[in-house]
Amino acid sequence: MKTLLKVLVIAMAILVSLNSRAQNILIADNNVSAVPVTGKVFTGATALQDAIAAAVDDDIIQVIRSAVNYGTITIDKRLNIFGIGLNPDTEGGSLSPVTQIDITEPTATGTRISGLSIGTGIFLGGGVAGALNNILIENSWVRRLQHVVNTTTLTNLVIRNCIMGYNVGATTEETIDLLNGFVANVVIANNVIYGSTDNFNGIGREGGITTSLSTIENNLFVHRRVTTFQWFAFEELRNCTVKNNIFYRYSPRIPSGGALSGNTFENNIAYDTNVSSDTFSTDSGNTSVGNHEAVNPVLANVPNEDNTGSITTFDPTVSGTEAVNGGTDGNDIGVFGGPIPFSKEGTLIPTIQVLDVPSMVIEGNTLNVHIEAKGN
């Protein structure tokens, strides 16, 4: 028989051999009860930025839920930053709040942001000129996303499973603003996207999204207020594929001065937009296939007021005939369709609570390990 000690020694030897490829897991915890651990657990008002400063490329930073905001942070390296999620099914009601995230440098290519509540927004670029690629933003509350300057190009940006534009208010800026001609291969999927309430003579001054060469699929575009004003989902949209989305009191058109050209609209639904027609554009090189105009998707519970209301009761499930299994892939139109349906919880990061291993194991037998974990 071999003792567990020998098994663990072998395991440690394997880990040492892989050490050069290992990721460090750092913790940012600004709760008053947090205890700092040098190089591992960062506390206080600057906990998150301190963790970023200590991290190296590919490290994981776990942002502990808190009632206190972690402030504005700058990311200038390739990191994986995880908060608690959109609506975690764990003890306590707090999230992982951040005021603003600036991802400034091309060296941050490959960064992943997940599970945060970002009060002002995420701002991309503005540092050294170059390509900022392969950015993943998911499972987060994000008020705005802005591409800052055209000296920073964006490729392979993915925005998924987020609630965008909540409490955005009366602003002359888009909820998602990516500079035309300087972005490519952008995917905006399975998000709830609210828009600005700013208007001029009853016409929405700003559309919700500016982008080009993007795929926009299985989102719910919903305007925050029920008024007689007209609101538009797009400000400038060029050469994009727009499919399986729901435009609810939010027209798939553009305001005066906007641009809409070379796009393909497939299997979308537009309803109650207060615009003279919900028609999906077929001029300026746009194509419309299989779309539904002035058709109610019958959403379960989606408020139109200042924000989503209670996230606990917020429910974008569809039951309308055209919406159910009506997507290009045979799944639902809206956020619960597509390859990765929307989740209110987001992807939780597990914390190990129980780890049980036998004291001895017979040579040649399987080592059975019992692990229990929950979200942070």
- Per-residue model confidence as pLDDT tens digits over 58-87: 999 999 999 999 999 999 999 999 999 888
Q: In what helix (H) or strand (E) does residue 117 lie, and over which residues does it extend? A: strand 117-124
CA–CA separation, 310 vs 322, rounded Å?
A: 27
What is the per-residue pLDDT across 221-240, written as a single tens digit (0 to 9) for each? 987 655 566 778 898 999 99
Q: Which residues pair with 261 in a beta bridge?
A: 238
Please give the Cα distance from 336 to 161 (Å, whole number): 10
Q: Is the distance from CB of 274 to CB of 231 less than 8 angstroms?
A: yes
Helices (H) and strands (E) in the chain, counts: 2, 38
Contact between residue 265 and residue 281 where contact means Cβ atoms under 8 Å apart: yes
Give the whole-angstrom CA distance, residue 313 versus residue 274.
26
CA 128 from chain centre, in angstroms, equals 25
Distance CA 117, CA 347 (A): 14
Radius of gyration of the CA atoms of the chain, in A: 23
DSSP strand pairing (117-124 vs 141-142): parallel
* Nearest-angstrom CA–CA distance, 312 and 308: 10
Tokens linked to 249: 């009191």
Q: Return d(Cα 121, Cα 140) in angstroms, integer.
A: 11
Q: When comparing pLDDT for 251 and 338, which is higher?
A: 338
Strand partners, 289: 266
Is it the case that residue 114 has pLDDT exceeding 90?
Answer: yes
User: Comparing C-alpha atoms, which of 254, 184, 216, 203 is closest to residue 333?
Assistant: 216
What pLDDT is recorded for position 19?
41
Residue 6 pLDDT: 40
17, two tokens: 């051999």
The confidence score (pLDDT) of residue 206 equals 61
Q: Where are the domains of the chain?
A: 47-349
pLDDT per residue as tens digits for the range 151-204: 999 999 999 999 998 765 555 578 899 998 999 999 999 999 987 665 544 444
User: Which of helix, strand or coil describes residue 292?
Assistant: strand
Do the bridges between strand 299-301 and strand 315-318 make them parallel or antiparallel, or are there none, so unpaired?
antiparallel
pLDDT per residue as tens digits for the range 245-293: 999 888 888 877 788 999 999 999 998 766 655 679 999 999 999 999 8
Distance CA 120, CA 191 (A): 18
pLDDT for the residue numbered 2: 41
Token pair belonging to 197: 């309430």
User: Average pLDDT for residues 289-308, to the nearest whole number?
Assistant: 78
Lowest mean pLDDT among 94-108, 204-218, 302-316: 302-316
- Of 90, 166, 169, 76, nearest in space to 124 by CA: 76
What is the Cα–Cα distance from 234 to 284, expressed in whole angstroms? 15
Question: Contact, 164 vs 175, CB < 8 A?
Answer: yes
* Burial zone of 310 (CB within 10 Å; 0-12 exposed, 13-18 middle, 19+ buried): exposed
What is the phi-psi region of residue 257: left when phi exceeds 0, alpha when psi lies from -120 to 50, beta otherwise?
left
Q: Quick one: CA torsion of 342, 344, 347, 348, rounded to 10 degrees?
A: -170
Q: What share of the chain is helix, strand, coil (3-state, %, to 5)?
A: 5, 35, 55
Under the banding of pLDDT at 50, 70 and 90, the label for residue 90 is low
* pLDDT band, very low/low/confident/very high, at 4 (cuts 50, 70, 90): very low
pLDDT in tens, 18-46: 344 468 999 999 999 999 999 999 999 99
